[in-house]
Chains A and B, each alone.
Chain A
């Protein structure tokens, strides 16, 4: 199986992707026959009320969940048949995650949190140190490198999470309601940082959000309702 990522293919190419959950006797369709395409450097917002399937779509796109049916090519690579080890490797190489509640590792310093993906990739620590310092400077946290996450504000923590997600320059950034825990001013700052870094590096972004002001920053908006793309 050829799993080499291709530069000229769309980063995300989903066709007819469906996922349903069994709740007792009934089958709940969380995502129905979704067709999604996101190209390099494109920032796509995913909107819809709570329970409409945004997270489900992001989990499948981020290779942390599997679809029941349909096809998903990540940068030209068919992902449907891959085993867990390959999916883990693809996540490590090609996908960055930003979570609603930051999910930083509390025993690691800010710098170590950002360095972690490089460490997983086996990048030498001297190179990693440089890239981490550069990344922290970009998100405006150069002076917080030695701090622990619990010494930071919410906005600062999310900026650390952005640095962590983008330090390895992934093909795809998955952000599930990244501003939901932040006040509107901080949310604006965070979105601006994501946008700037992704456009610069050509990273494709899929961002789930309720926030109308956030969607205004995006290149395109996909609306979901009851698992169906409108």
Chain B
């Protein structure tokens, strides 16, 4: 599992596998939107009707939500609440934690149901967990040879100054 302090790295190959997986989950669960968020609030991947959604804000608030309920869990002696569900008038949100570090969010309406979403999420979570583990392994190899293929090893002061101009 990813330690809380290792930086998250995403590569093309794993990104494609993740996209394929959440697209399949979207279809099979009849849901509207699915996204994957790092526990620190960084959006990892999104699919479905995302055009009118502020996915960056959603990612940050989801992470805040998980962090707050995680804090609540600890206070009552639980490790964490691994599944959250918010029911709205039209849309519902199903949130689950995968591999301790990544948050899977499914937004669905009356075309689906909580039971179906739950079932499909459970299956997809196992596959997602495998991809995430592969990602960690890759990141570790990368970490043992820092800077080798890092695009940041060559950053100059000018590069940084230029960002603000």
A binds B: no
- Taking Cβ atoms with an 8 Å cutoff, the residues of B that contact A are none
- Taking Cβ atoms with an 8 Å cutoff, the residues of A that contact B are none
